[in-house]
Copies of this chain bind each other. A is one copy, B any other.
């Protein structure tokens, strides 16, 4: 499979998926389509047991969803989700979550917005370096993380820490992300790579049957939150629809697009958004 935004490297039963969508790894419509296609292949590929997701850009894992594509989709009703209670990012996330492989993210650099939503919902485990920067900038743009991010953050971090993370809309570094349970563990780059190499070697020895048996127990134990999770996703969608109709969010997206989704603007996106919201 040849993709435009994803570089694939297979080594035995390990598939390394490297995100590369220069200049800042925006998650755009093409990347979403390619992730859906890759998910479809993985769903029926017994040759892959472990998927490692990383980024070709040390500064950006995924910047966020491409606002130009968002604006375009909003203007074209035919691009909307066919299902009122699940949107395209949620749907992508839930389909990847259901894949039989063990899916791991190695986060270096910035991972914000839709990128972080995907990692929180679809990956089995997340690991970060201290240089990682995790952020949901949505609240500072008058909306909310609505691709599963609000729900999965609430479940992972608990309500108090999740609300701080989401409403502050600031960059959390790798150490903070570990403390708030957004990643399994944060380790210095060299140490992390050794850690992941050891972990992946172990995971590659687990048969799909054994992995599935563990998932079956987890699903049973957590069955009490599966229905509420879907209610959470639906509430995210309601919030998104309300926000999309609001002048504040429209103005925010227009201002961001006018300033430009440039590397310079996106490196410290929370500061850029704060500057943009200054009067005058």
* Chain A residues within CB distance 8 Å of chain B: 102, 123-126, 139-140, 142-144, 150-151, 154-156, 158-164, 166-170, 179, 181, 184-185, 198-199, 202-203, 205-207, 209-211, 213-214, 216-225, 227-229, 231-232, 234-236, 238-239, 242-243, 246, 248, 277
Contact = CB atoms under 8 A, between A and B. Distances in A.
Given A164-B184, A203-B168, A210-B142, A228 B217 contact: no
A213 B228 contact: no
Main secondary structure of the interface of A (DSSP, over half): helix
A97 B185 CA distance: 31
A222 B227 CA distance: 10
Contacts of A155: 221
Given A125-B160, A144-B217, A209 B167 contact: no
Nearest to A212: B239
Copies in the complex: 3
Contact of A140 (B126, B159, B202): B202
B202 A168 contact: yes
Contact of A227 (B181, B224, B232, B246): B224
A159 B222 contact: yes
A220 B232 contact: yes
A159 B207 contact: no
Contact of A207 (B142, B203, B211): B142
Given A213-B144, A223-B228, A228-B224, A181 B158 contact: yes
Contacts of A162: 218
A48 B273 CA distance: 23
A163 B124 contact: yes
A139 B228 contact: no
A156 B243 CA distance: 31
A173 B236 CA distance: 37
B231 A223 contact: yes
B242 A213 contact: yes
Contacts of A232: 217-218, 220-221
